[in-house]
Structure 1
Amino acid sequence: MKQIKFSLVISLLLGSIGVFGQEKVESKFGKGVYVVANDSSFSMKFNARVQSLLQFEVPHGSENLMDDMTSNWLIRRSRLKFSGFAYSPKVKYKIELGLSNRDHGGENIHTNNTSNLILDAFVRWNFYKNMEVWIGQTKLPGNRERVISSQKLQFVDRSLVNSRYNIDRDMGIQFRNKINIGSIATRQALAISQGEGRNRTNKKDPNPANGFEYTGRVEVLPFGEFTGKGDYFSSDLKREETPKLSIGVTYDVNQNAARTGGNLGSYIENESGVDYENLATLNTILADVMFKYQGFSLLAEFAEKTMDRNRTYEIIQTANGTTYNILNNYYTGTGLTVQAGYLLKNNLEPAIRYTSIAPELLTGNIAGQSRDLQEMITFGLSRYVVGHSLKIQTDFSITNETDQVTEESSKEYMFRFQVEMAF
């Protein structure tokens, strides 16, 4: 029934867009469909996009490639976006819906067992000069790679550093500001949010152990602004005529985080629900650098996530001996990623990325994220037909993993091919 209702809503939305579509609009591919009320009291831009992904993985030393190879064919992302202003150009909004299974992020009691469709839903008000307040659900001011849209990546997908340590989206309030000091541009962001991720429907428990999340970020652009907000899309598609550099640092505190990754991962629970006695505060440091000049681009990021208490565990006696069940199994540790690419004159871009992941030893296994040390080298090739709106991307990765306990190592190869189309 819920899916039927959702389908009806989407049909109505697309139907309304179709009405506007009977007349030619002043737009072009990749820029969306834009409408403004006759009295200029509101505007709306509609965008849609889809990523089609083909992925193959095979372990090193395989004697039978076809038997050992795993493959995945899927719609990686499928999104609808609505944005514009309401009443005044100083009051803007954005709504983004994720339609693919991978976009939903899972269903559980904390989201009322419904599809986790809403990615962004917030209002932003420019109330004084360069100061804005954002209210609603959207990305926190975290690592640059995460904040950059998945439509505008240099590789098929983000790095392991992002998937392990990013602070993702949350519901709350954010304050944004810009200050220019001569030719130097700076940005500041502060967020206060619930600390449990997107689309949570259960009431925030009054238990004092259930805290909130606080995020602060500062960016410095010593050579001034990038062309066309180029510090928040990958690759130097604008071919910067002068060197451009952006340095960003984020510090995030998620008090008594209820999930293994802070805003992501499974909930830390016991038979009664959230296990408040064993919750810990997660502290995350994220630092990044973006550089672009005449087709060359470089992005480097460092992440460290720690918890403010020791892990707690229960001892379980079995017929095979004694085992230990960690009760607050957060994913903590450090990570580093560096990537670079050069955009050729024909809009073909070769790129390379190095990633290193070092989770804390007691992190254990969390939703497929192991405690293994990981090193990954990725070679990418992209063809930009219409910028990031229509592109073909492929990459090949070599991953080395070392178990921190047994010191056993393994190697795996991965090939991905993806087509992105957005209008």
Structure 2
Amino acid sequence: MRSATHHVEDLLRRHAPQVLGALVRRYGHFDAAEDAVQEALLAAARQWPSAGVPDNPRGWLIRVASRRLTDALRGEEARRQREDRAAALTPRDAFTAPPPGADRAPREDDTLSLLFLCCHPDLTPPAQIALTLRAVGGLTTAEIARAHLVPEATMAQRVSRAKQKVRGVRFGRPDHWEQRLPAVLHTLYLIFNEGYTATSGAHLQRRDLASEAIRLTRQVHRLLPDDAEVAGLLALMVLTDARRDARTGPHGELVPLDEQDRDRWDRAAIEEGAALVVDALSKGCPGPYQLRAAIAAVHDEAPTARATDWREILGLYDVLVRLVPGPVERLNRAVAVAMVHGPRAGLAELDALAGEYTGHRLDAARAHLLERAGDLEAARAAYESAASQTLSHPEQHYLHARAARLRPTGT
């Protein structure tokens, strides 16, 4: 029963955005459609583990959700005395019939259209992420709230406000949709980063969140197989996630990249990611996600930490910072500079970032380079400073442990 239940849960998560897309495309009313889909998913979760999964689970879900939605619209029509235009969306004899095409393959762009809707430019990035996880990822409001360490009521308000902002927005790929694709990719990138290295809490990683970002990015890649940056983002996620089992020790402690057991890396994922990188880079001028993926590939393909080709990584960062001259990219490049030209050269690069970058990673990188340069007292202070700035418990413990190793004997 447990495996059957997990199978049903996987099916429901996979079909949820397709079903929601079908209803929103046909009826509009994003908020009401989302409620109807949730009712259909709940009905399936109750019935399918014991009664069996229907031959066409997507068609079943669309039929049930459509009936729930049209019943709700009919009730609204009666309550508002036919003044609400929702009653005109569906012929009366269709209120108990499945929508045309329910038993056919899903429209290929429904999921992508939902992603574009959830990444509407009127929404803030946190709202885009929350709505994407809710509507496209199939996560419950409680799950999203736990992922962001906020009360469920707070997340419910955030999702509700986001839905209100997109009410009335035409469903489908927007005009000039290419201009909105970067926002879609950036949202997926942020979701993955939060899952791969949580910004706060007791656990270093939130695997469900990272896996969901990869799943959604795979869908975008299937819909846009010729877009090099989509392929680059998918490659970056796959190559980075390939190391996840080696990133923590037996008690959940952080294990840095150069100390990880590379036998625990997912070689199949590395091969997939590397192939994606090669294909993406062959399409022309590389973009930021392709370059980040290429850097991840160099790390993953090195048999040992000492064998890492840091000159190639530095060359890739040189190109990346010309495209994206942000502080995060420059911080990472500074580490590569240190690995190629020595810790003092890297520290000089970090000094130039002091007024632009805020956050514990700058002090953590500085501590590491100071330790390599032999300035142990300054390194210890920098490790402690970094630990005081992060809300991630595994990162705090790791940084405190590094600082403790540098204390003079007997103190």
- Higher RCO (Cα < 8 Å, 6 or more apart): 1
Greater percentage in strand: 1
- Under a length normalisation based on structure 1, what TM-score does the superposition of the two structures give? 0.27
TM-score by length of 2: 0.28
Larger Rg: 2
